[in-house]
Amino acid sequence: MLNYIKLVRVPQWIKNFFVFVPLLFSRHIFDSSYFLNSFTAFLMFCLVSSIVYIFNDIVDIEADRAHPVKKNRPLPSGKIPVRNAIIALIGFIALVGFFLPAMNVHFRIFLISYFLLNIFYTFIFKHMVLLDIFSIALGFMLRVLAGASVINVEVSSWLILTTMFISLFLGIMKRRSELILVNEVPVKSTRKVLSSYSLNYIDQMSTIAAAGVIICYALYTVSERTVKIFQTENMIYTTPFVVFGIFRYMYLVYMSNKGENTVEIMMTDAPMITNVILYIITTILIIYKDFL
């Protein structure tokens, strides 16, 4: 069972929490109907993301066997037969096909777009410099837009830009860690696109992306629309948590040689976990002060 959990990447489902971003800032997080719709959307993205992971592992099984880390995954290591993986893939597709008609049209469009984006990423985009990183960013943006569509709320343009820059930042950091790993281990890289990057170029991109996250989020907190909706200017006090999160992540990547597994960092680094919890609590206290 543990191998199948690894196959469908259950820990990676944390990335789908971006679906809840519009709910948090909609002032409806304590509304059961809104929360149920967002939670359903979250589960749908978890199913589709697992479909993508299984599909990718089947397609890349030979390349993964040559990778110093990915060779330990259930498929390339032989712990799960390809036949069983295909059966699991069909089962997840059937679940999505069963529940998808119950969702609204806009959500279905975003979810299908997310799936198609990942298919194109598997065969084309991940082999193209910059498009590989931007594809990852677009995936996070589609999660946010889908989360907004399922509860019928508008998303601030600044919030969308923040999502774009933070996902670009995470993608760039992941590429940096992969490049370091490839340079240290004398094994042929499973990502040919890495040969198109250099550490100097990636470091410059990471600086720009990090600055973009901080600037766009700061502008979101003080924008006229945000102040009007939340009826307070106190959202600016959540900015230090965002700045600390970006700096802490850069520290872990640059000083501790982490970053290839975003989820592992978010779930194992105590300062990062504490920062995220404090950010969520502070945001809820500011946005929902009239409901508490």
Q: 131-149: per-residue pLDDT in tens?
A: 999 999 999 999 999 999 9
What's residue 189's pLDDT?
A: 47
Domain assignments of the chain as residue spans, ordered by start: 156-292
Q: What is the CB neighbour count within 10 angstroms for residue 186?
A: 7
Q: 3-57: per-residue pLDDT in tens?
A: 999 999 999 999 999 999 999 999 999 999 999 999 999 999 999 999 999 999 9
Q: pTM here?
A: 0.91
Contacts of residue 178, Cβ cutoff 8 Å, sequence gap at least 6: 189, 191, 194, 260
Q: 70-97: per-residue pLDDT in tens?
A: 888 899 998 999 999 999 999 999 999 9
Q: 94-107: per-residue pLDDT in tens?
A: 999 999 999 999 99
Checking if the pLDDT of 261 tops 80, the result is: no
DSSP string, 151-193: TT----HHHHHHHHHHHHHHHHHHHHHHHHHHHHS-S--S-GG
Higher pLDDT, 264 or 146: 146
Rounded alpha-carbon distances, angstroms, from residue 280 to 20, 118, 242: 12, 29, 11
Higher pLDDT, 177 or 169: 169
